[in-house]
Structure 1
Amino acid sequence: MLGGLIVILICQLAGEVVVQLLGMPVPGPVIGMVMLVGYLAARGGVDPGIKTVSDTLLRYLALLFVPAGVGLMVHFELVARDWIAIAAALLGSTVLALITTMLIMQFLTRRGEGE
């Protein structure tokens, strides 16, 4: 389990370093997740240690939303003032994610039928 946690943290650190060095407008952990997916693809599967750590983190995922909820309440005036922009961004990103998922699924389905 410790080995899996170390791999995850190294990927996150590497993502942060890449973002800082290249000045990318993407959070470091996102780049780290892409690196982790590449690592897992190169290995051909998920290591049992990484699976144990990820299952444990997912079990307590709801607790990670508590600070975000507290932040919303602390800055409620800002949210109330800009609710239209926030709602538009949420709606737009949701629609964009659904369309992207649909297009990727269609591509993979057609590709799978061709093989």
Structure 2
Amino acid sequence: MIVHLATLLAFQLLGETISRGLGLIVPGPVIGMVLLLGFFIASPRAAAAIQPTALGLLSHLSLLFVPAGVGIVGHLDQLGADGVPILLALLGSTALAIAVGALVFVGLSRLTGGAT
């Protein structure tokens, strides 16, 4: 399991190194995931070996949201003072993102000749 975690972290480090070294706008972990995907395609045995460790990490993914919850509790006074504008911004940006996503889908579907 330690070797598998080290492999995952090594690909993340490699992605960070490439991203920062070349000054790319793509985040390092994304580059690392693409490289890891290529590694898994080239070596299916490695993918099968790392799968249990990856599933274990995914099953505890909710622990990563603890810092966000602590941040919210730490700024409750700010949330109380600006709660309505924050809520409106969240609702508006969510609706806008859904609308833009739908419009892009429809546009690409028409462009490629697919059914809408």
Q: What TM-score bracket applies, with the shorter chain setting the length?
A: 0.5 to 0.7
How many Å apart are 1:62 and its aligned residue? Answer: 0.9
2:31 corresponds in structure 1 to 31
- TM-score with structure 2 setting the length: 0.64
Q: Does the C-alpha gap of structure 1 residues 49 and 30 become closer, same or farther in structure 2, counting only changes over 3 Å?
A: same
1:10 corresponds in structure 2 to 10
Instruction: Give SS of 1:19's match.
Output: helix
CA root-mean-square deviation:
3.1
Deviations 1:5-62 (A, max 9, x none): 1210111001111111122223221211111111111113553431121011011111
Query: Structure 2 counterpart of 1:26, which letter?
Result: V
**1:47 match:** 47
**1:89, distance to aligned residue in structure 2 (A):** 3.9
What is the distance in 2 between the residues matched to 1:25 and 1:86? 25
Give unmatched runs, 5+ long, in structure 2.
none
Q: Does 1:70 align with 2:70?
A: yes
Tell me how many residue pairs correspond in the alignment: 102
% same residue = 39
